[in-house]
């Protein structure tokens, strides 16, 4: 670990702190339908959209109608994505002439992008046409993020409103998220990325003549080197390199800002065309946390308790720092099994565990990126999580297991942590023997039941499907690393999909019938079975009267509250997943220190 | 319900046009106008053995500044091992090895590369530690860079093979070392393709 590495991490958190308030104020204005500086350009587009889609923007919805509209929109747009994938060979903008995406894979991908997961069982550069990437995948990056923000705002309204039956209009919230929050930022951000070297074109792949022609061993269909009849390996001459291109920057911008994380290329943000410089890397990490951080301020502003917003922010920052410190330490310590390699940090190299990491990012930025992308439900990667040290790789896994409440996904992070806030307030209420209150609203049996439904469905689906996959043949054949690491690969996959994260221990072959279908099911449950109870709580809270705060009210604005919230998140996560973690990464760490390989 | 279903369908169509078609095409147009070089992949062309800035009649594509290539001859600086495609540095098959830290395949591969690098580089013995980036694959399999430590490790070999003073090669490496962006972001690095092209431009092609 170096001073420079810690400086980069500190600057990152400082910038997040600095943009929280301006972004939060802006979003509060957008969703209260107050004037913003973008109105002269965007209001006409918004009105036009409502006219062609017959939306009445003055109409207010109960939570049930809000929920049904959200489900209908997600369902219809998911179907459209599936169809685009299946017929891309007949559509334009397909210079590499890619064929239709196979059924199971197309279904998995459609579910994945609709749920803001962006789990990918395909390689973008050899599967998807430019049109599919733009109008299918990047489109869902916008809408799944806009839906997430809309839901978070609806939840905040539920807390803020008194004796009301309604929580807003889904179509208006979703449209305003896309038009005011996401689209303008993405245009500027995409161009910034292009200035750093992220490609943005529609040209066919280029072919370069290599500077030095290479003789390489030819490999057979099984991936093993071919041996000729004379017993010598069969050699192949490689004299050219085909360079994949595409409209990458426009997709990259919304991929990060919408905490989607689905790479244009297989290597995601470790690919030099997606993330060419340390500055592009810094911007990408910032854009993951930007909206979720801003939403904590929006929460404070819309509920009239700004200090509560900051108390939630502080809980997130504490958990973030714990994660990044662990990951940075573990990766900088290196892999003790690589005896001949110099893993010491010096002025000339960052050292550490460089397997799966890019030189331009080194250790600090790879550890930071891995923490940020899993604190939020982003799931983009700039290094291979599968090749992290056992404890370094456990950090992203644990982050997702904590329901991605550390800043979290756009929208999903806020309503995720508010579920924990409800639980924290409930526990505090039990401790003093009073009916718990949250910002003047009594938290009653119905609210707590719904909150528990969210916290129970999540581990249930992860642990059951991991257990099935780690004993059944159709689950085990996909593993690429033996020993405890194999279990971690499966556990990570279902955790990532249920948490709608999308990052992977990518050695696991997910493109099988089992993982495609079980995975799609997991992602859909992980998204919508969290949203429905959450909206039910919102609708229920909106109806309630407010009770004035008294001496017995547990304040949700103090450091004590922050500590309680952090503890509840950690205890729920630890109690649920500790046994599985100890059989995976913890065991692997101990065996690695003992010099064991698999 | 029915009204919201119709709205869902119309909304999907309308937003697809706006966010899925107009937005990326707008960005493509602006990017091509403002940053044509970057938007097309920072491609490097050559004509009659000389590097030229852009594509023109008689020029051929040498590669992209951002995409690494394999080098194996002793007169060139070598890139990191690559897991992209069977032959490595396949820019249509980006990706890492995905080998876990306790995977025997990883340990065997690294040990093999360590032994090979010790043998290839004169003056290195069986105790020499190899800079870790030279024996590990990158996340993309296309990493264009090596660390300054990895470049320094190879200076002696390149200079000996090309029969040029070591100091000149070391100076060339320093000239091609990119420092941290804005003084603190990322890590110092050396672009292998550019360094090798500079070697060829000054001292002729290595055979």
| Residue B97 confidence class, pLDDT cut points 50, 70, 90 | very high
Of B64, B100, B180, which is closest to A387 when you measure between CB atoms? B100
Give the minimum alpha-carbon distance from A598 to chain B in angstroms, rounded to a whole number. Answer: 5
How far from each other are the two terminal CA atoms of chain A, in whole angstroms?
Answer: 28
Cβ(A598)–Cβ(A488) below 8 Å:
no
Q: Which of A368, A302, A378, A369 is nearest to A27 (CA)?
A: A302
Same domain, yes or no, for B23 and B88? no
A-chain CB neighbours of B111 within 8 Å are 339-340
How many CB contacts within 8 angstroms connect chain A with chain B?
A: 413
Burial of A283 (0-12, 13-18, 19+ CB in 10 A): buried
Residue ranges in chain A whose pLDDT is less than 50: none
Tell me if B15 and A11 make a contact (CB, 8 A cut-off). no
CB contact under 8 A, B39 and A249: yes
Query: Any alpha helices (H) in A335-472, and if so which ranges?
Result: 362-375, 390-401, 412-432, 445-469
Q: In terms of domains, do B36 and B46 share one?
A: no
- Are B138 and B170 found together in one domain? yes
Q: Is the dihedral of CA A33, A411, A530, A576 positive or negative?
A: negative
Q: What residues have CB less than 8 Å from A583, skipping those under 6 apart?
A: A484, A487
Same domain for B53 and B10: no
A178: which 2 tokens? Answer: 């896309």
Q: Which 8-state DSSP code applies to residue B190?
A: E
Task: Quote the tokens at residue A520.
Answer: 């799609």
Q: Which residues contact A349 (CB under 8 A, 6 or more apart)?
A: A342, B131, B132, B133, B147, B148, B149, B150, B187
Structure-token pair, residue A97: 């002439």
Residue with the two structure tokens 């996340």: B139
Task: Calculate how close chain A gets to B48, using CA atoms only, in Å.
Answer: 14
**Given the DSSP bridges, would you call strands B189-191 and B145-146 parallel, antiparallel or unpaired?**
antiparallel
pLDDT value, residue A379: 95
Q: Inter-chain contact A8–B185, Cβ cutoff 8 Å?
A: yes
Mutate to test the interface with B, among A69, A354, A396, A598 (most CBs of B within 10 A): A354
Residue with tokens 């008294």: A550
- Nearest of A254, A75, A82 to residue B7 by alpha carbon: A75
Residues of A in contact with B199 (CB under 8 A): none
Whether the Cβ atoms of residue A150 and residue A173 lie closer than 8 Å to each other? yes
- Chain-centre distance for alpha carbon A376: 5
Contact residues, chain B, for A136 at CB < 8 Å: 20
Instruction: Give the one of A53, A174, A390 whose C-beta lies nearest to B101's C-beta.
Output: A390
Q: Of B41, B104, B145, which is closest to A597 when you measure between CB atoms? A: B104
Of B8, B15, B94, the CB nearest to A271: B94
Q: Which helix (H) or strand (E) holds A438?
A: strand A437-438
At residue B50, the pLDDT reads 81
Q: Does the beta-carbon distance from B95 to A123 stay under 8 Å?
A: yes
Phi first, then psi, for residue A393 (nearest 5°) are -75, -20
Number of H helices, E strands in chain A: 21, 5
**Among A279, A481, A597, whose Cβ lies nearest the Cβ of B107?**
A597
Same domain, B15 and B64: no
Q: Do B132 and A351 touch (CB under 8 A)?
A: yes
pLDDT of residue B207: 66
Contact B144, B178 (CB under 8 A): no
How many angstroms separate the CA of residue A37 from the nearest CA in chain B? 20
Distance from CA of B6 to the nearest CA of A (A): 8
Are A267 and B1 within 8 A, CB to CB? Answer: no
B18 and A45 within 8 Å at the Cβ level: the answer is yes
Same-domain status, B106 and B79: yes
Of A239, A54, A535, the C-alpha closest to B87 is: A239
pTM beyond 0.90: the answer is yes
B67 shares a domain with B28:
no
Query: What spatial distance separates the first Cα and last Cα of chain B, rounded to whole Å?
Result: 73
Burial A195-211 (b: 16+ CB within 10 A, else e): bbbbbbbbeeebebebb
Same-domain status, B128 and B67: yes
User: Residue B17's domain spans which residues?
Assistant: 1-40
Distance from CA of A365 to the nearest CA of B (A): 7
Rounded CA-CA distance A388/A507 in Å is 12
Helix (H, G, I), strand (E, B) or coil at B182: coil
What is the C-alpha separation between B165 and B162, in angstroms, rounded? 9
Q: Give Cα A209 distance to the centre of its chain.
A: 38
**Contact between chains at A191 and B31 (C-beta distance less than 8 A):** yes
Q: Do B101 and A210 touch (CB under 8 A)?
A: no
B32 and B94 fall within a common domain: no
What tokens were used for A335?
Answer: 């892999």
Residues 6+ apart with CB under 8 A from A488: A390, A393, A394, A397, A505, A584, A585, A588, B100
Residue in chain A lying closest to B14 (CA): A49
**Phi, psi values for residue A71, rounded to 5°:** -65, -40
Pairing status of strand A437-438 against strand A341-342: unpaired
Q: Return d(Cα B3, Cα A243) in angstroms, integer.
A: 47
Quote the number of domains for chain B. Answer: 2
Instruction: Name the β-bridge partners of B195.
Output: none
Give the pLDDT confidence of B37-68 residue by residue, as tens digits. Answer: 999 999 999 987 788 877 877 889 999 999 99
Question: Which pLDDT value is given to residue A279?
Answer: 97
Q: How close, in Å, is residue B141 to chain A by CA atoms?
A: 8
B118 CA to centre of own chain: 23
Q: Report the residue from B14, B73, B137 with minimal CB separation from A356.
A: B137
Question: Taking residues B173-201, what's their average pLDDT?
Answer: 96
Q: Are residues B88 and B189 in the same domain?
A: yes
Cα nearest neighbour of B96 on chain A: A356
Q: Are strands A341-342 and B130-131 parallel, antiparallel or unpaired?
A: parallel
The conformation of residue A383, written as its DSSP 8-state character, comes to: B
- What distance in Å separates the CA atoms of residue A196 and residue A276, rounded to the nearest whole number? 6
ipTM for this prediction: 0.96
Both B187 and B104 in one domain: the answer is yes
What does the pLDDT read at residue B109? 96
> Which of B38, B75, B102 to mutate: most A Cβ within 10 Å?
B102
Q: What is the domain partition of chain A in residue ranges? A: 20-200+248-295, 206-243
User: What pLDDT score was predicted for residue A66?
Assistant: 97
- Per-residue pLDDT of A71-93, as tens digits, reads 999 999 999 999 999 999 999 99
Residues in a beta bridge with A235? A217
pLDDT at A213: 92
Residue A107 burial (CB count, 10 A):
20
B102 and B164 assigned to the same domain = yes
């Amino acid at each position: 670990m170096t001073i420079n590495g810690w400086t980069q991490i500190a600057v990152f958190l400082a910038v997040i702190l600095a943009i929280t308030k301006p972004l939060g104020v802006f979003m509060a204005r957008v969703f209260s339908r107050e004037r913003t500086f973008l109105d002269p350009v965007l209001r006409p587009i918004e009105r036009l959209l409502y006219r062609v889609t017959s939306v009445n923007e003055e109409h207010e919805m109960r939570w049930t109608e809000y929920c049904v509209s959200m489900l209908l929109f997600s369902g219809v747009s998911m179907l459209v994505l599936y169809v685009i994938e299946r017929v891309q060979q007949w559509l334009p903008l397909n210079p590499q002439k890619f064929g239709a995406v196979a059924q199971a894979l197309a279904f998995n991908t459609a579910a994945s992008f609709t749920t803001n997961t962006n789990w990918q069982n395909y390689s973008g550069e050899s599967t998807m046409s430019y049109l599919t990437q733009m109008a299918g995948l990047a489109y869902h990056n916008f809408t799944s993020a806009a839906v997430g923000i809309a839901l978070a705002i609806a939840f905040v309204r539920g807390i803020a409103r008194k004796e009301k039956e309604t929580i807003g209009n889904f179509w208006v919230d979703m449209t305003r998220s896309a038009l005011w929050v996401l689209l303008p930022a993405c245009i500027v951000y995409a161009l910034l990325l292009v200035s750093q070297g992220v490609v943005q074109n529609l040209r066919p792949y280029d072919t370069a003549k290599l500077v030095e022609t290479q003789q390489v061993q030819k490999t057979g269909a099984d991936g093993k080197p071919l041996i000729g009849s004379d017993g010598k390996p069969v050699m192949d001459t490689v004299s050219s390199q085909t360079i994949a291109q595409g409209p990458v920057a426009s997709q990259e911008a919304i991929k990060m800002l919408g905490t989607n994380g689905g790479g244009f290329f297989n290597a995601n943000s470790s690919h030099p065309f997606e993330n060419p410089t340390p500055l592009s890397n810094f911007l990408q990490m910032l854009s993951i946390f930007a909206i979720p951080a801003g939403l904590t301020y929006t929460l404070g502003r819309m509920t009239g308790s700004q200090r509560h917003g900051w108390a939630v922010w502080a809980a997130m920052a504490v958990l973030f720092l714990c994660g990044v410190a662990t990951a940075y330490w573990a990766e900088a310590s290196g892999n003790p099994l690589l005896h001949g390699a110099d893993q010491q940090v010096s002025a000339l190299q960052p050292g550490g565990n460089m397997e799966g990491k890019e030189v331009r990012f080194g250790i600090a930025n790879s550890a930071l990126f891995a923490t940020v992308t899993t604190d939020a439900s982003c799931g983009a990667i700039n290094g291979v999580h599968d090749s992290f040290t056992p404890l370094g790789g456990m950090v992203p896994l644990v982050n997702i297991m904590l329901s991605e409440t550390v800043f979290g996904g756009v929208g999903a992070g806020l309503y995720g942590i508010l579920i924990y806030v409800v639980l924290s307030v409930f526990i505090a209420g039990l401790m003093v023997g009073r009916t718990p209150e949250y910002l003047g609203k009594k938290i009653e049996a119905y609210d707590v039941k719904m909150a528990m439904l969210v916290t129970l469905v999540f581990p249930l689906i992860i642990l059951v499907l991991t257990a099935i996959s780690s004993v059944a043949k159709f689950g085990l054949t996909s593993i690429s690393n033996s020993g405890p690491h194999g279990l971690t690969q499966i556990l990570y996959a279902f955790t990532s999909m249920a948490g709608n994260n999308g990052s992977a221990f990518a050695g696991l072959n997910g493109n099988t019938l089992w993982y495609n279908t079980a995975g799609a099911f997991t992602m859909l449950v992980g998204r919508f079975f969290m949203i429905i109870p959450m909206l039910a709580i919102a609708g229920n809270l909106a109806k309630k009267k407010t009770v004035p705060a008294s001496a017995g009210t547990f304040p949700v604005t103090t450091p004590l509250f922050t500590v309680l919230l952090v503890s509840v998140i950690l205890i729920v996560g630890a109690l649920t997943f500790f046994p599985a973690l100890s059989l995976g990464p913890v065991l692997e760490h101990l065996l690695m220190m003992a010099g064991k390989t698999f | 319900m029915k009204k919201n279903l119709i709205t869902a369908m119309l909304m999907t169509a309308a937003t697809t046009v706006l966010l899925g078609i107009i937005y990326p095409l707008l960005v493509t147009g602006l990017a091509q106008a403002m940053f044509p070089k970057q938007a097309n992949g920072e491609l490097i062309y050559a004509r009659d053995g000389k590097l030229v800035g852009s594509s023109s009649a008689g020029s051929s594509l040498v590669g992209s500044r951002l995409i690494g290539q394999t080098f194996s001859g002793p007169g060139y600086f070598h890139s990191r091992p690559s897991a992209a495609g069977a032959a490595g540095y396949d820019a249509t098959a980006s990706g890492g090895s995905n080998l876990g830290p306790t995977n025997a395949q990883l340990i065997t591969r690294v040990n093999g590369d360590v032994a090979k690098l010790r043998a290839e580089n004169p003056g290195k013995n069986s105790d020499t530690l190899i800079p870790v980036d030279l024996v590990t694959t990158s996340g993309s399999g296309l990493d264009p860079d090596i660390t300054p430590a990895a470049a320094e490790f190879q200076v002696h070999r390149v200079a000996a093979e090309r029969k040029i003073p070591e100091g000149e090669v070391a100076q060339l490496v320093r000239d091609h070392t990119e420092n941290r962006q804005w003084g603190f972001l990322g890590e110092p690095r050396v672009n292998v393709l550019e360094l090798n092209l500079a070697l060829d431009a000054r001292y002729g092609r290595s055979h």
